[in-house]
Structure 1
Amino acid sequence: MILVGLTGGVATGKSTVAKMFARCGARTIDADALARLVVEPGKPAWRAILAAFGRQVLNDDRTLDRAALGEIVFRNRVKLRRLERIIHPRVARAQAQLTAAIARATPNAVIVYEVPLLFEAGVDRRVDRTVVVTADRETQIVRLKRRNGFTRAEALRRIRSQLPMRQKIAAADYVLDGTTPRSRLFTQVKRLYRELQRLA
């Protein structure tokens, strides 16, 4: 088994690359999906977030209003770190359990763990290889405006809340350009998957 950390900047194409790895046969784990699970109403992380940020971050059905929470934390690094301290350890435990289950069932699996804050949260120390998906800043801004309805200022706040791209690239074992045409990008992912299979 090999555990591969897949990351990049916001809106660089991480999820697209994760889907391509899955098409090749990799097992994928999505940190954002795990984060949504651990903050379901009534769970310990949900209660901790409510205590830290108040009822203003809840929807009428008691689920987290992710947009409202984002407005708070992406304007204030201290509050962002507080939120990360609540969520990250719980996501790490869930990921470790999933990884162990996959490894038991498929000992030679290539497991791709898609995690936006791979380096920022120290997850790179718990994986065997790292892959960074890049895109130029203007592409990120355009994608965030189109996908999330952000203003340019909001998009820049999200981008700047993460480690600069050049530092992620310097720390990565492999780098993929998320602006590459899909067919060519898939060819690159297939080639990388075969290499990772040999290491599994």
Structure 2
Amino acid sequence: MNIGLTGGIATGKSTVSSLLVKKGALLVDADAIARDVMLPGQPVLTAVTNFFGQAILQADGTLDRKKLGNIVFNDKEALKALNDISHPEIRKQLNERMKELEKLNPETLIVIDIPLLIESGLQSMFEQVLVVYVPRDIQKLRLMQRDSLSADEAEARLHAQMDIEVKKTMADLVIDNSDSLATTEQQVNELWLQLGQL
């Protein structure tokens, strides 16, 4: 069985996915694939650089994520352009990895962690969609702390994504990650049993 795991920026998707992996699930991480397709020599990075210019690269030819982030999180058209360039390849690799894992491990829960799962309309790829949720004020605070952002920078990033309250209503399953790690772990344990994983 597979589930698509999503949430908002800084809601704790990685925390929940790692707890599920600890229980025995297998993980396909869209962020890891997104980083891979942006490595030097990859066609996606070349296309992104052609669109946004050499200024988004560091001296060694690697992507300057902060610079690109500052561009796309303040300009909806720029963000759309980046997604249009990168998402088809990320989606293709996600699908290939998911199918391969399902074929090799038919009895194991496969978790596919995709930050923009709902925005990209990918729900039909999965048996169920799990949203990792925290209220927006906690989300903003965690984002500021995690990425050393100002309130305005954090707000711009949150504004660029679908509101977490909306995502929550579109989920088959919800894990509320606004309390302690122990509380989140308890919810993961209950979910594990609910999904019939022993």
The two structures share one fold, judged by TM-score above 0.5: yes
Q: Which has the higher mean CA deviation after the structures are superposed, 104-113 or 63-72?
A: 104-113
Provide the residue aligned with 2:125 in structure 1: 126
- Give the deviation of 1:143 after TM superposition: 1.1
How many matched pairs? Answer: 197
Provide the residue aligned with 1:33 in structure 2: 32
- Structure 1 unmatched ranges of 5 or more: none
Note if contact 1:110-1:197 (Cα within 8 Å) is conserved in structure 2.
Answer: no
- Give the deviation of 1:180 after TM superposition: 2.3
- Give the deviation of 1:19 after TM superposition: 0.6
Provide the residue aligned with 1:103 in structure 2: 102
TM-score, normalised to structure 2, is 0.96
- Give the deviation of 1:82 after TM superposition: 0.5
Give the 3-state SS of the residue equivalent to 2:120 in structure 1.
Answer: coil
In structure 2, distance between residues paired with 1:65 and 1:125: 33
Provide the residue aligned with 2:61 in structure 1: 62
Provide the residue aligned with 1:78 in structure 2: 77
Give the 3-state SS of the residue equivalent to 1:197 in structure 2.
Answer: coil
In structure 1, distance between residues paired with 2:24 and 2:110: 9
Post-superposition Cα deviations, 1:120-173, rounded to whole Å, max 9, x if no partner, equal 011212111011111122211221121101000010111111111222111100
Note if contact 1:10-1:159 (Cα within 8 Å) is conserved in structure 2.
Answer: yes
In structure 2, distance between residues paired with 1:13 and 1:113: 14
In structure 2, distance between residues paired with 1:23 and 1:145: 28
- Give the deviation of 1:78 after TM superposition: 0.5
In structure 2, distance between residues paired with 1:37 and 1:183: 32
Task: Report 1:1-200 matches (<5 A).
Answer: 2-197=1-196
Give the 3-state SS of the residue equivalent to 2:112 in structure 1.
Answer: strand
Aligned AA for 2:136? R
Aligned AA for 2:156? R
Aligned AA for 1:97? E
Aligned AA for 2:85? I
Give the 3-state SS of the residue equivalent to 1:117 in structure 2.
Answer: coil
- Structure 2 unmatched ranges of 5 or more: none
Aligned AA for 2:155? L
Give runs of ≥4 in structure 1 deviating > 4 Å: none
Q: Which has the higher mean CA deviation after the structures are superposed, 152-161 or 97-106?
A: 97-106
In structure 2, distance between residues paired with 1:86 and 1:194: 39
In structure 2, distance between residues paired with 1:196 and 1:27: 14
Root-mean-square deviation (Å)? 1.1
Note if contact 2:29-2:114 (Cα within 8 Å) is conserved in structure 1.
Answer: yes
TM-score, normalised to structure 1, is 0.95
Note if contact 1:26-1:112 (Cα within 8 Å) is conserved in structure 2.
Answer: yes
